[in-house]
Structure 1
């Protein structure tokens, strides 16, 4: 799942739990598994393969908001919260993003073969879920369901950088087992990468299409490759329709899990 989707889920969880947000850095903790791999020393496996229900010392309590990200990803990929970390790719995964993406697999293989970046079926299955995840983020950007999400994310990034970075780097260094300096460097890169202008351009499509053309291994200067990618993205949007029932289901699953008790135990002010 992408940035806006994770931000929507956490915002909804906090609203339903009646928790007042006192430190917006919790929204950056929540998306950091996807942000930190911007650094060459950090791989997504390092940020996503931590125990979902590990004990967190009080001084690192904001790590709970990282774990919420992982629970949401589990549901998106596997259709359930996984007590044990899944380390192997499962092409038959039954989570929403893979089930919804099934009809994209052949078009993705055709696209990649057409533009000189052929992939096998397993890779096409993985990429199909990427298109679905992107589509959910775009839906949130384009509809009232996502009102305020970009501003919320931008405010959280800016205030984390200004006020909370020492605590942020210490907490994530403990959680992921990397040096604090690496966390700091990753956040410096992220501040440059996730600017308001770039996020708006990405969600509107100005940058989204060429970026995914490059991710898929094609040439973003090729107009046909860009047009073909736009078709794949349009198919993704058609497949998901209105994803908010699914998103509410994710929130419900997290609230009904043992983790809900941990969240409530943080007190009536989220982030304190």
Structure 2
């Protein structure tokens, strides 16, 4: 298996993009002091609404827009409960994850008339860069949302480190009392980042359902939102480190597909990305425990 083949690198980017978009949402929430573990449900909701809107309108880009709007509204429940009412964000997020899983399954049967997987020749998927006249050999046959995800890492790093609003978001997360004393509206900033995270998860769901494939399957997020949460935890809220963590998942998934093609059982290949992610989380925990000892 040649990891330098363009097809392999393309597969890595395809697997990485949805996780990276969702993880960026989780990262800006973490910076602002909101621990967002609803990424799994938001990603799934984004994928579902992207397929529904694309199927109804016949336009993949309208599906992307619909996914962003619908997921922002969905994330509003997390914002209203955890920021507005100061409920436990973990409890609220777990409830939203379960709601997304059950609601998409229920609506799938009502809208499409069956459960499981919905796919149709008339369902519009996202065009590739080549179809748009922007063929980049390194990226392969990717949708435009893949390079957008990579570009957003740079934007997030610049925004959090160089702009007034980004520095204020960091202040809100690190020193809430001091931020309030300085006149910053802590609640408004936290509401804002949760909603922006919803938009990013909507993009992630659209890429997963209309870019990686062109279908919707019940539970198709398949733990990617949880992988995004882990990526945020191991990144130390540094965007470039977050990118490396998500690329690790992408490499693992691409390797899993290659091994499956070589005869490895599907269950073992599907488990590979999650085993590697768990291993990365353990290493991060060990490293975090060693730092205080080295400092002392």
**Both proteins in one fold, TM over 0.5:** no
TM-score, normalised by the number of residues in structure 1: 0.28
The structure with more radius of gyration: 2
